[in-house]
Amino acid sequence: MSPFVGGMQFAIEACTKYSQDRVQFGKPINSFQAIQHKLADLKIIQEAAKMTVYRVAHDKDSGKPLNHMHTSIAKAIVGDWGMKAASDAVQIFGGYGYIHEYPIERFLRDAKLGQIGGGTSEMQRFIISRILSYF
């Protein structure tokens, strides 16, 4: 899960710089509130993903038994919120976000794996709801 959190850091840095450099209507696009909110959402999602992943990693390092609820929550946040972050990142880049010449389209494809690999988002919800039902 941590590579996805690292990917979000890359996206935050790339989007921050691009939105400072890209000028539309005579202003850098990061002066527009719609872009500012997307940047803020990227940071919010990355912090939430980081905290939940760290919780699982900390428990593992401490020798505690795997907490399936915590693990599935972390995986679901990294996967599903990570996809929102990736989609917003592409949106900030506009058309340049879509083409291969800029690295951000790769981020979108990589983020999608977070919803599929190592247990799909559907399976994480299955695990979470099953634990909720049993306890």
Ligand X SMILES: Cc1cc2nc3c(=O)[nH]c(=O)nc-3n(C[C@H](O)[C@H](O)[C@H](O)COP(=O)(O)OP(=O)(O)OC[C@H]3O[C@@H](n4cnc5c(N)ncnc54)[C@H](O)[C@@H]3O)c2cc1C
Interface region with ligand X, contact rule CB under 6 A, candidates 29-37, 42-50, 69-77, 116-124: 116-124
Alpha carbon distance, N-terminus to C-terminus of the chain:
26
- List the one residue from 122, 129, 130, 131 that touches ligand X (CB under 6 A): 122
Based on CB atoms, which residue is closest to ligand X, 94 or 118?
Answer: 118
Q: Does 131 bind ligand X (CB under 6 A)?
A: no
Opening angle at CA 48, ends 53 and 86, nearest 5: 95
Interface region with ligand X, contact rule CB under 6 A, candidates 74-82, 91-99, 102-110, 119-127: 119-127
Interface region with ligand X, contact rule CB under 6 A, candidates 13-21, 55-63, 88-96, 114-122: 114-122
Cβ neighbour number for residue 118 with a 10 Å cutoff: 12
According to DSSP, residue 66 is labeled P
Who's near 110: CB < 8 A, 6+ residues apart?
4, 7, 86
- List the one residue from 13, 116, 130, 131 that touches ligand X (CB under 6 A): 116
